[in-house]
């Protein structure tokens, strides 16, 4: 009986640990898009929504129609509650509606995944 209870406790603790790892797997960011001031695609605005800095924030974007891809570190450090603009001027990429993108940061095993809105 004691072994069964111990196994149940171990399983519950394991599930809690796995849930917490998955909950924090993507970087804590919010993403908005605005029109480019130079008229070249859209500009991605990345905001760090946490109370800790994010390191080596990278953007990966795919344009499947043109068979093109970009993958660049856009901020060595992104301070809490701070935002950065990412577009043609910063990474030589014109974000287009329907493109897929990923935002990653050091220390987060997953990526924030999204699609550029129309």
Q: What does the pLDDT look like over 71-115, one tens digit per residue?
A: 999 999 999 999 999 999 999 999 999 999 999 999 999 999 999
What are the domain boundaries of the chain? 27-115
What DSSP designation does 95 have?
B
pTM value?
0.78
Cβ atoms of 33 and 116 closer than 8 Å: yes
Half-sphere exposure of residue 64, counting CA atoms within 13 Å on the CB side? Answer: 7
In tens, the pLDDT along 36-54 reads: 998 888 999 999 999 999 9
Cβ atoms of 116 and 42 closer than 8 Å: yes
Cα radius of gyration rounded to whole Å, the chain: 19
Q: Which CATH number fits domain 27-115: 2.60.260.20, 2.60.40.10, 3.10.580.10, 2.60.40.1080?
A: 2.60.40.10
């Amino acid at each position: 009986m004691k072994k069964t209870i111990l196994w149940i406790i171990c399983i519950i603790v394991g599930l809690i640990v796995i849930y917490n790892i998955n909950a924090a797997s993507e970087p804590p960011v919010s993403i908005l898009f605005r029109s480019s001031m130079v008229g070249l695609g859209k500009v991605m605005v990345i905001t760090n929504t946490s109370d800790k800095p994010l390191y080596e924030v990278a953007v990966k974007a795919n344009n499947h129609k043109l068979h093109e891809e970009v993958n660049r570190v856009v901020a060595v450090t992104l301070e809490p509650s701070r935002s950065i603009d990412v577009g043609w001027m910063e990474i030589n990429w014109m974000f287009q509606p329907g493109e897929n993108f990923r935002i990653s940061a050091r220390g987060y095993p997953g990526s924030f995944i999204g699609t550029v809105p129309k």
